[in-house]
Chains A and B, each alone.
Chain A
Amino acid sequence: MKCDDAIKKLSAYLDNELKDNLRTELENHLKICPDCSREHETLAGNAKFMLTLPEIEPSPYFIQQTLAKIRKTERREKGFFTWVPVPAMAVLILVLLSYFLSFSIKVFALEPESRKKIAGHAFESAVKGSHVLGHVSFKKFCKRSCDILCECKICPMYQNKGDKMIR
């Protein structure tokens, strides 16, 4: 038995609440460990001292007042916030995943050239708003992406020639 376990079980040992095997194990440990033995003597001394103190009569309605205070501190939320969010989240995630999954399946069924067109269209939709944030940074971002697919049609750096942008 390790010292951490022995210290935790001392209280139950003093109250005779330990099972026989654990009791024996703890007693064997107390015989060989001076720190735990000292801790046991301190606890046993405290317990004996407590028994010598006079019994105190609790005030009237002590139990009721204590329970009322406990109920006041335990702010267990009931209603909308405990029952609605998780099912709503599950429904929304199912809807989103069904869209993403069906979209992915349809895209992967396409030819590579067609997939590239889809990627270009999606990229165009995604970056359309970003040029208002910074003209220079937008150009840098767009140029990097247009090295891969020059079909964005919105980058001011490039000349327009038919459907494709060339540098």
Chain B
Amino acid sequence: MKSKTALISLLLGILSFIHLFGIEKAAMAIIFGTIALKEGLEDKKSGYMAKSGILLGLLYLVVLTVVSIKYFPEMFKLIENLK
């Protein structure tokens, strides 16, 4: 692949049409961070950046999952009451 930034541009353009509470951004952060680490990085700073991106993406997904697990049962109860 000649230009990785061109590929990233294309992927982000496609993702502009998808809105899933930021899940798509977290997924991209994790995937690109993992790819960067597997390819091998020349300096420590890049490694820290990739790891930070992965951790932030995972943290967001965990927070969103915890909030969903906490609040969705209430919403489901509300739906059952409205039936």
Contact = CB atoms under 8 A, between A and B. Distances in A.
Interface string B49-69: 011001001100110110011
B1 interface: no
13 contacts: A77-B40, A81-B33, A88-B58, A88-B61, A89-B31, A92-B62, A96-B68, A106-B79, A114-B83, A118-B79, A118-B82, A122-B75, A125-B71
A16 interface: no
A93 B76 contact: no
A107 B79 contact: yes
A76 interface: yes
B61 A96 contact: yes
Interface residues of B, number: 37
A76 B38 contact: yes
- Majority secondary structure, B binding face: helix
Interface in B15-41: 20-21, 23, 26-27, 30-31, 33-34, 37-41
A121 interface: yes
Given A73-B42, A74-B40, A103-B72, A85 B54 contact: yes
Contacts of B72: 99, 103
Interface in A99-122: 99-100, 102-103, 106-107, 110, 114, 117-118, 121-122
A127 to B, nearest CB: 15
B64 A81 contact: no
A118 B78 contact: yes
Given A85-B30, A96-B23, A110 B82 contact: yes
